[in-house]
Amino acid sequence: MFDTPKGACQLLVSSDPLAPAFPPRHNARTSVDPNAFARDLVRWFRRRGRDLPWRRHRDPYRVWISEIMLQQTRIETAIPYYQRFLRRFPNMRSFARAPLDRVLKIWEGLGYYARARNLHRAVSTLVHEHGGRFPETADDWESLPGVGAYSAAAIASIVNGEPVVAIDGNVRRVAARLRNAARVSDAEVEVLFSASMGPHEPGLFNQAVMELGQRVCFPRRPACAACPVRRHCAAFSAGTTERVPARKAGRPVPHYEIAVGVCRKAGRILVSRRREDAMLGGLWEFPGGKIRPGESPERALAREFAEEVGLRIAVGPKIVTVPHRYSHFSVNLHAYECRHAAGRPRALDCAEVRWVRPAELKKLAFPAANRRILQTLKGDRGWPKT
């Protein structure tokens, strides 16, 4: 923690033994006035902060939706989804009434679908068990499915005015550079910014720090010349902004070859729904799975159909290979035409299985790689054009 004299509140350069030895320049700062730092930051944010749709309200529902959508998602990507979501579900009750299929379809393309499932479950709980009342503290917000510590603090500070620091990667990076530290613990970040939050609106301050990390204090090549708080920054004074915080070594990304089949019978196509507890849970897909070492895609596909939906199939020509990258692995999705040979479809290793007409596919939510298969098939006779 910070060794500050009683009655004084200073942000000090880290003495963390894991921090690199970055000697400050002759005129480098070793401490900063938290009130002056906050004043400079908030003044900049009031003048230069982006006009984002969720910042125009303090409505708990809207702020909550935005914070969940912004998890692992760029602001520019989230905005149209946020606007479309609120047009379809303008309040908690309309959202709670919606079937999960409809929610996932609205969310389709935004990714990280557990967010949508958890949000739907949490809203339904508030509506049906708590009379539609919203949480009033960060701890209460964090008790809801899908609301982590950062989101809970952000929502509670903006909506409830609770003086709690919202901490994520952007905020940690800003704190590390202010202290010229290789790394900072969340406890240190909390002390650092709690001291500065002081007389300012907690939500405003949290958003200002986040905006600084997103738009100025980049992980690489930070825009120090445009930084409103560079006079308070120990890393800027020491000339070490490119070296702090210390970067973690990247991990190798696993890769998998996947075979899936577009199986047709009497003008219908077979689709299966992923289990709720699986990755991409609740979404629909073409049946299939991983190709084992030494196994051909065709043999893998026949095996997977038998294991997943209990069918024997005749594998036809390849339709397309779709490369796709997820957050922690990558795949090549090999799609094949298939014909039903024998058996009745059963949900053996999935949540549900259906024969659907091509026109029905556009009503179902599919993962991104499966949607690209659909795009390839659009030119086929009998397939939907939209």
State both tokens at 84.
């479309």
> Which DSSP category does 130 fall into?
S
Query: What is the distance, to the nearest Å, from the Cα of residue 122 to the centroid of all Cα atoms in its chain?
Result: 17
CA atoms within 13 A on the CB side of 221: 0
Q: How far is CA 123 from CA 3, 118, 132, 141, 279, in A?
A: 43, 9, 8, 11, 21
- Which residue reads 């308070």 in tokens? 232
Beta bridge partners of 354: 271
Backbone angles phi, psi at 271, to 5 degrees: -130, 150
Max CA pair span of the chain: 81
> Which DSSP category does 86 fall into?
H
Sorted by sequence, the CB contacts under 8 Å of residue 184 that are 6+ apart come out as 14, 16, 172, 175, 176, 192, 245
CA distance 19 to 306: 55
Query: Could you count the other beta carbons within 10 Å of the beta carbon of residue 47?
Result: 8
State both tokens at 20.
């690199």
Residues 152, 158, 164, 166: what is their CA dihedral angle, to the nearest 10 degrees? 60
Q: Which of 67, 190, 298, 304 is catalytic?
A: 67
Is residue 315 within 8 A of residue 261, CB to CB? The reply is: yes
- For the question of residue 67 being annotated catalytic, the response is yes
Residues annotated as catalytic (active site), given as ranges? 67
